[in-house]
Amino acid sequence: MAPANGAEAETLDEVQAMKNAANALLKENHLHDADAQYTKALAALNALCERADLRETPAEKLNEAAAVILSNRAMTRIKLEEYGWAVNDASEALSRCPSYYKAYYRRGCAKYAIGKYKEALADFRAVQRLHGKDADNAAKLKDCERRVREEAFARAIAEDSAPPLSDSFSVSSLAPVEDSYTGPRLEEEGEEETEQEDGSAIVKVSREFVDALLEAFRKQQKIHARYAARLVLSARRMFSALPNIVHVCVPAGREITVCGDTHGQFYDLLRIFELNGAPSRENPYVFNGDFVDRGSFSVEVILTLIAYKLMDPSCMHLTRGNHESLAMNKIYGFEGEVKAKYSETLFKLFLEMFRKLPLAYVLDGTGASSLRANELPPSRASETAVPASHHENRDGNDGTDTGASQGATEGGKRALVVHGGLFSRDGVTLGELQRIDRDCEPDSGLMAEMLWSDPQKEPGWGASKRGVGVAFGPDVTERFLDANALQLVVRSHEMKEAGYEVEANGRLVTIFSAPNYCDQMGNKGAWIRFGHDMVPRFTQFEAAPHPQVKAMAYAPNLGMYGLM
């Protein structure tokens, strides 16, 4: 940048200092602080750009400096999974400096991260044109070309697509269980199975099997492929019988635990059970989506959760997250992990199971008799208290009232548990959500918004920072809740430093249960216990030690940052 004098030089020095500080924060993964510093630096530089009469530095040089800051902020937002905002930053950087190849690269990475491969391909080709054959960019370009071909092929055969593999698959096609196999065993197929109302068979899972399963996984042992397939097929049949939104009754004197994203962090899942008690009829859980991807023990996490569900459906409730989808699994590791530990066939069975997961739960403490609800058994007195060695916010939402009491039970209230958030329009009802065909990929419409949306501080609606779904304000939350006789939204989907956050005047809670996310973020995890009053009681916890298998170990060997 050209030298300048006086106030201009002072401003440029301040901008450089703020950018350097932001770069240091980014390097240490203090991402929100880095974002704020880049934003301050950009504001100061933009103010200088607007004062053409008072500056000596050519506009071209100032725009080049702004492009660097915007591109660096795009990198920060990619690491924050704010892919939509990262695309916007990189695009603005290119509008100010069209030859800045790093902005093309970062925009390509952001689009790749949300499955927009054709658009990402154009950006990676621009990098190659401007910067030559960088190895990392070349790998991403090649991968995008492959994925674009795969998408075109999938569209071409969509009309003639075969029925789900799960409908015809027989576990007898897999290798038999060897006599030398020492892991957990299910009963022989057909001997210990129960039937649902539609006549479909559900494998019977005992507490002893689940305990043995967890111990095997703790030791990094696999269960036999036949047993894994039987669990997945049975879980799919069980989920198929559930509506999009499942009602669970939480009567007075009883409690339920809600956990957020676990993302393949199996040893942290074990820590939750160690601190809060194992799932049981007396100690039920809701896990709010994103069980897989990123963490490298995703197979262990999802098999554990569905084993509990099959052992006792009342002890485990699962919602679908945006990572229970083909597009995310291909990028963030679950596909590679299942293929490495089992096979492509089992990966397909997992995908078909994910498409049957419920989209949300209503936790109902009102005692309203009109609901077809699963009755929760009484909590044991010893389980209503959280170990004193772990932080607990028993006031939940800083004392803010979450709504008036409704229904037959005094003080009883209702909460909606959904992975992402709310909608791009008012007037959406629970009845409308029940009519969604959920047996698909969550690419658009109300279902995509349920799995992808995020809250914002401002009223009304905004563009999604992720590039999918919508940003919705506290007023949107209030109108949706009031229209549907709900008092609280419980969602996940976002890493929070404390493991949770309360927003929208106490009517929206984010819960995140993957501490030290991706082995690098340093955040705490948390869970919530609810009674019939739907007052959230938070417990935080630290990450558990785990074997030396890095996060994203099974993801495509492309990295996300390369030229960054």
48 within a domain of the structure (yes/no): yes
pLDDT of 114-161, one tens digit each?
989 999 999 999 999 999 989 899 999 999 999 899 888 777 766 556
pLDDT of residue 50: 82
CB within 8 A of 285, min separation 6: which ones?
256, 257, 258, 259, 279, 308, 315, 316, 317
- Lookup: tokens for 281: 């009829």
CB within 8 A of 387, min separation 6: which ones?
275
CB within 8 A of 475, min separation 6: which ones?
459, 460
pLDDT of 16-53, one tens digit each?
999 999 999 999 989 999 999 999 999 999 988 887 66
CA–CA separation, 119 and 467 (whole Å): 13
Domain count of the fold of the chain = 2
Query: Amino acid identity of 264?
Result: G
Question: Same structural domain for residues 124 and 234?
Answer: no
Higher pLDDT, 407 or 188: 188
Domain boundary among 134, 158, 182: 158
pLDDT of residue 371: 40
Question: Same structural domain for residues 335 and 439?
Answer: yes
Return the CATH number at 82. 1.25.40.10
CA–CA separation, 39 and 34 (whole Å): 9
Question: Same structural domain for residues 280 and 427?
Answer: yes
What domain range includes position 30? 6-158
Helix (H) or strand (E) holding 393: strand 392-393
96 within a domain of the structure (yes/no): yes
Output the average pLDDT for the chain.
Answer: 88
Question: Same structural domain for residues 123 and 20?
Answer: yes
pLDDT tier at 395, thresholds 50, 70, 90: very low
Beta strand 414-418 with 488-491: parallel, antiparallel or unpaired?
Answer: parallel
Question: Same structural domain for residues 273 and 347?
Answer: yes
Please check whether residue 557 is in contact with residue 391, taking contact to mean a CB–CB distance below 8 angstroms: no
207 within a domain of the structure (yes/no): no
546 is catalytic: no
217 within a domain of the structure (yes/no): no
Q: Which range (181-185, 388-392, 449-453) has the least confidence?
A: 388-392
185 within a domain of the structure (yes/no): no
Let me know the angle formed at the C-alpha of 164 by 163 and 168, rounded to the nearest 5 degrees. 90
Domain boundary among 116, 136, 158: 158
Q: Which of the following is catalytic: 30, 263, 323, 419?
A: 323
